[in-house]
Structure 1
Amino acid sequence: MASRESSPQEHPLCDRNVEKLRAFIRDTEARAKPRPAFCPTRLIRIGDDKGKEDICYLVIPGPDLLRDKRPLRYAALSYCWGPLEDAKAQFKTERASLPDRVSGFRPEETSPVMRDAVEVCRALDIRYLWVDAVCIVQDDRVDWERESAEMTNIYRGACLTICTPTSTSCREGFLERRVLTVNFRSKIDRSVVGSYTIRSCGAISDPRVARGVYGELDRVDTSPLSNWWKRGWTYQELRLSRRVLLFGNKLLVDFENRVWSENDEEMIEVVTGEVSAEGREDRARGAFAGISLTGQFDLGDDWMSTVEEYSARQLTFETDKLPAMAGLARMEVQGGGELYLAGIRRKSVHRDVFWTPEPRTGVAGDGDARVSFDSLIKSLNSPQPYVAPSWSWARWRGKVRFDESPAPYGDHVPVRDGDACFARAYERIDVWTSASESNPFGQVTGGSLKITSTVVPMLPRLQRQEGFDNHWEMYEGNGYVANISFDWDEPEGWVPYERLSLVLIGSYWNWSTYRIAKLNQDAEEEQDDDDTGDEADRDGEADVDMIWGEGGDDDDEDSSSESDISFEAALNRDEDADKFAYGLVVHPAEAEGRYFRVGVFTSWPKGRGGLKRFFQGRDARTIEII
């Protein structure tokens, strides 16, 4: 059944809407706490000092614009560049055209999406506008890297971010309310003919849209959301913005946890991102928005969820994978003396490297493509282009998950939540990436993870889990050892399993899960010797200098909440109690002595698996994963 609400106005910038928006901006700015003055390197000034509004200038704000020590009021535009041909043809600034932009240009010369943004600024008395295509010199790599590193400040410093879900390209505006004309002929009197003109009236048939559950929709190809919701760059632009004016089927305002939907009388408060009072989601219907991401920004333990959501987004250039979320990364690690290494947080490296590709997201980013072992190794040995090291989620072209099960029936590693106590299980780890000095959170040209830990060759007996093409169980004789998830999912083709190895990264403990393992242990140890499997062997070691290192500490547990019973308490009840072990699956690279990450494993304390039963007591060795 469709959900119903009030209709939008004939034009988004009608007098009623503009009056409301101006009042909201005044009220929000009056409530705002003082913040440090920030001004982008360049801004588009709308109009001149003589009152002419039909001309724009690219300006470099000087001391005269900041003389009152208050932040300069400007709006930022968040939009889709569109297909490559549209992006190439759009109005932009390059080194050759920079003088022309400074000397002045008319709005009608610009791309339609920018033209509409200028109209919005005029209506709301905002004199300055930031648009990436014009305010960044597009063919100057140094300028591009420097400015892309400022996205946090640019979007958080804007008095307003104009978001454009109804525009799929820079060549499409967002202010025109689209209508549909339907011809008809009467079935009663065939001479009666005419037409209906239809436009959106706020009725949404999909209950997920009505509830604002857009994360679910983004995961399916039939999503009704526009391209703006699916693009990589727009993800952080929305997340970083303090105040959003979103042009969807209806106008939606999200100003620092207060929201308004077109034709509502007043804004409503949203407490800590939750729906309050009568249900904020009702007022978000039809506006293509329903999630409060502005205002209080604190990724905290939600970094992994942020990466999961972002990794599902699309990018025209794969090399933008890290730059397009550099602003979010800066917010995550700033102030804590933290290092950020190609999408991996230094202090959480033992958890952040444990990611898995979502099924059927391929090397080429095709949601239906399967990835073979050969294509995976080829893409790692000769990446075109290079995006990130093999151990970083950023190198995968498609959606990734943390807390994902290498065993599809619940045998997962809860790295994303606080349900388990985690400990590092390596002796030492050193991580290095090469990033630009102007943007350490952006694109990298190389990286290495050198680890001293237990490295175990893949055992000969592997059994594929029924119904899954990349989930396996490894056995030693008849005894279970580990669940394995490979980064490829093409079941056909030869795979040299004997060249694969397991690298121990960490351990975790959860009493409830341990009890499940104990219940299943006897049954699994009685499995038939004749289960199908493939053989495996062992290889490799390496050495390289690093810029960051730390020693492993099995007592350094980073749990956010304790399990039902601590491991020590469990030992008092069961002297055979053991921790869960997890880590990476690696394969030799063409570069001698180096390896690629090609999967993950988790070893339950059942059968012959677990930290103590299978891994402890073995000699450690040092390998380099690139």
Structure 2
Amino acid sequence: MKEILDGPGIPSILPRTSASSWFKPLTSRVDFDVPKRWLQLCSSLHKCHRLIEEVGPSRLIDCNARVIIPTGQTANSAYVTLSYVWGSSAKDDTASIPALETTSWILPEELPKTIEDAITVTQELGYRYLWVDKYCIDQSRSEDFISQVQQMDLIYRNSVLTIIDAAGHDPFKGLPGVRPDSRSPIQPSVSVGDYELYSTMHRPEWDIKTSRWSTRAWTYQEGLLSRRRLIFTAQQMYFECQGVYCKEALDFPTDGLQELHLDSPKKGHSLHEDFRRANGMGVFPFRLIGANVWEIYARMTEYSGRSLTRDDDILNGILGLFRYTGRTRYPIINLWGLPYRL
């Protein structure tokens, strides 16, 4: 009992005979029905799933055919994006990618595990197309690289979901729980009469904020600009959109989660916002990039504290955020005289 009460997370009572408990024992493999319910909840209650503009990346991975194709061949189909840490020892298997304006390119037979797992997640959630910078940007052509880097706000905000690897230091470890026995959640539990007492584990927000992913400059705008995020930590999955956050070990019924989104009498305000601010919950700022100069300044401060492999990428790593601030209802195009619109 002491191990449960003193262990990570909040101790949770799970009736042994109940099949509808809110508290879900973690297993070595992900139950993809869980993130499907999260996405359905978001689609039914929020505006997160709506496209910002009818613009997207120039190329996508067709997960079924395992080829990279121009987006003109996808008929504006929904796509998923991946955010991960490149690492310093990534094998360069993208050098032979041809110009893809009129042709497709077959993916290598052996992909880094994180990218292979992202393909699996995309298919398990019912989608076909995936955007991964390593394969969907021609790294050898500077004009293609700059063009796509400048479109990062549209690439991530127009995707239906961003998969985030917050467990690895490079793309070779894989997403925990996607492959059989690819994670070993040590979840303390004890039987007490007709009940099981479980730990709900570490708050995944803490694991994400202290991850390697959260230290890298390139991943900053990828997470911030995304409308819906499915994050893999070493212990469990975590979902956060602009209206809700869910973790795998607490499988709340969707009708209960809906109560957090009832509008209060104050227009544009919600009980969810009050609850989140009062409890310091969530990974990303509630107002995301922000709507005034002070919030934008806070985002610049956060970005400046992140690390880059190449110092000359410091501007490229945030071009998407710059573009976004210039296209809002009240555009911010400079910060104390420094131009934003590039």
Scaled to the shorter chain, the TM-score interval is: 0.7 to 0.9
Q: 2:298 pairs with 302, 305, 311, which one?
A: 305
After superposition, the Cα gap between the structure-2 partners of 1:331 and 1:8, relative to the gap in structure 1 and judged at 3 Å, is farther
2:89 partner letter: E
CA contact (8 A) 2:28 2:185 kept: no
Q: Which structure shows the bigger proportion of residues in strand conformation?
A: 1
CA RMSD in angstroms, aligned pairs only:
3.6
1:39 partner letter: G
Q: 1:60 pairs with 63, 70, 82, which one?
A: 70
Q: 1:226 pairs with 189, 208, 211, which one?
A: 211
- For each residue in 1:387-415, what CA deviation from the matched residue of structure 2 results, as whole angstroms up to 9, or x when unmatched? xxxxxxxxxxxxxxxxxxxxxxxxxxxxx
So what's the TM-score if we normalise by structure 1? Answer: 0.42
Q: Distance in 1 between matches of 2:25 and 2:104?
A: 38
Q: Distance in 2 between matches of 1:126 and 1:319?
A: 36
Q: Distance in 1 between matches of 2:56 and 2:183?
A: 36
CA contact (8 A) 1:239 1:294 kept: no
- For each residue in 1:37-59, what CA deviation from the matched residue of structure 2 results, as whole angstroms up to 9, or x when unmatched? 222101111114xxxxxxx1111
**Once the 2 structures are TM-superposed, how far is the Cα of residue 12 of structure 1 from its aligned partner?**
5.0
Q: Distance in 1 between matches of 2:46 and 2:70?
A: 24
Name the structure 1 match of 2:86: 81
- For each residue in 1:297-339, what CA deviation from the matched residue of structure 2 results, as whole angstroms up to 9, or x when unmatched? 5342211111111111111111111111111122223356765
Q: Distance in 2 between matches of 1:274 and 1:154?
A: 27
Identity, in percent, stands at: 23
1:237 partner letter: E
What are the within-5 Å matches in structure 2 for residues 413-432 of structure 1? none
After superposition, the Cα gap between the structure-2 partners of 1:75 and 1:295, relative to the gap in structure 1 and judged at 3 Å, is farther
Structure with higher Rg: it is 1
Matched residue SS, 1:116:
helix
Q: Distance in 1 between matches of 2:133 and 2:49?
A: 26
Number of residue pairs matched by the alignment: 292
- For each residue in 1:582-611, what CA deviation from the matched residue of structure 2 results, as whole angstroms up to 9, or x when unmatched? xxxxxxxxxxxxxxxxxxxxxxxxxxxxxx
After superposition, the Cα gap between the structure-2 partners of 1:18 and 1:241, relative to the gap in structure 1 and judged at 3 Å, is closer
After superposition, the Cα gap between the structure-2 partners of 1:239 and 1:4, relative to the gap in structure 1 and judged at 3 Å, is same
Q: Distance in 2 between matches of 1:294 and 1:115?
A: 31
Name the structure 2 match of 1:276: 275
CA contact (8 A) 2:238 2:245 kept: yes
- Runs of at least 5 residues in structure 2 that lack an aligned partner in the other structure: 1-5, 12-22, 187-197, 262-269
What are the within-5 Å matches in structure 2 for residues 539-550 of structure 1? none
Name the structure 2 match of 1:151: 152
Q: Distance in 2 between matches of 1:260 and 1:147?
A: 31
CA contact (8 A) 2:34 2:251 kept: no
Matched residue SS, 1:246:
strand
Q: Does 1:243 align with 2:236?
A: no
Name the structure 2 match of 1:3: 9
What are the within-5 Å matches in structure 2 for residues 490-569 of structure 1? none
Q: 2:60 pairs with 34, 43, 65, which one?
A: 43
Q: Distance in 1 between matches of 2:253 and 2:277?
A: 13
CA contact (8 A) 1:74 1:127 kept: yes
Name the structure 2 match of 1:318: 311
CA contact (8 A) 1:255 1:295 kept: no
After superposition, the Cα gap between the structure-2 partners of 1:123 and 1:293, relative to the gap in structure 1 and judged at 3 Å, is farther
Matched residue SS, 1:109:
coil
After superposition, the Cα gap between the structure-2 partners of 1:276 and 1:114, relative to the gap in structure 1 and judged at 3 Å, is same
Matched residue SS, 1:303:
helix
Name the structure 1 match of 2:243: 257
After superposition, the Cα gap between the structure-2 partners of 1:296 and 1:317, relative to the gap in structure 1 and judged at 3 Å, is closer
Q: 1:72 pairs with 67, 74, 77, which one?
A: 77
Matched residue SS, 2:54:
coil
Name the structure 1 match of 2:125: 124
Q: Which structure shows the bigger proportion of residues in helix conformation?
A: 2
CA contact (8 A) 1:46 1:129 kept: yes
Q: Distance in 1 between matches of 2:114 and 2:121?
A: 11
Q: 1:13 pairs with 30, 51, 66, which one?
A: 30
Q: Distance in 2 between matches of 1:319 and 1:36?
A: 30
Q: 1:102 pairs with 78, 82, 104, which one?
A: 104
After superposition, the Cα gap between the structure-2 partners of 1:18 and 1:256, relative to the gap in structure 1 and judged at 3 Å, is closer
- For each residue in 1:232-264, what CA deviation from the matched residue of structure 2 results, as whole angstroms up to 9, or x when unmatched? 111111110011111122211112222221132
Q: Distance in 1 between matches of 2:327 and 2:216?
A: 25
CA contact (8 A) 1:18 1:123 kept: no
What are the within-5 Å matches in structure 2 for residues 76-225 of structure 1? 76-82=81-87, 84-86=88-90, 89-91=91-93, 93-94=94-95, 96-98=96-98, 102-105=104-107, 109-176=110-177, 177-179=182-184, 202-204=200-202, 225=210
Name the structure 2 match of 1:618: none
Q: 1:331 pairs with 301, 324, 341, which one?
A: 324
- For each residue in 1:256-290, what CA deviation from the matched residue of structure 2 results, as whole angstroms up to 9, or x when unmatched? 22222113223544749735289776xx7xxxxx2
What are the within-5 Å matches in structure 2 for residues 579-590 of structure 1? none
1:113 partner letter: T
After superposition, the Cα gap between the structure-2 partners of 1:297 and 1:318, relative to the gap in structure 1 and judged at 3 Å, is closer
After superposition, the Cα gap between the structure-2 partners of 1:36 and 1:272, relative to the gap in structure 1 and judged at 3 Å, is farther
- Runs of at least 5 residues in structure 1 that lack an aligned partner in the other structure: 49-55, 182-199, 219-224, 285-289, 353-430, 432-438, 442-626
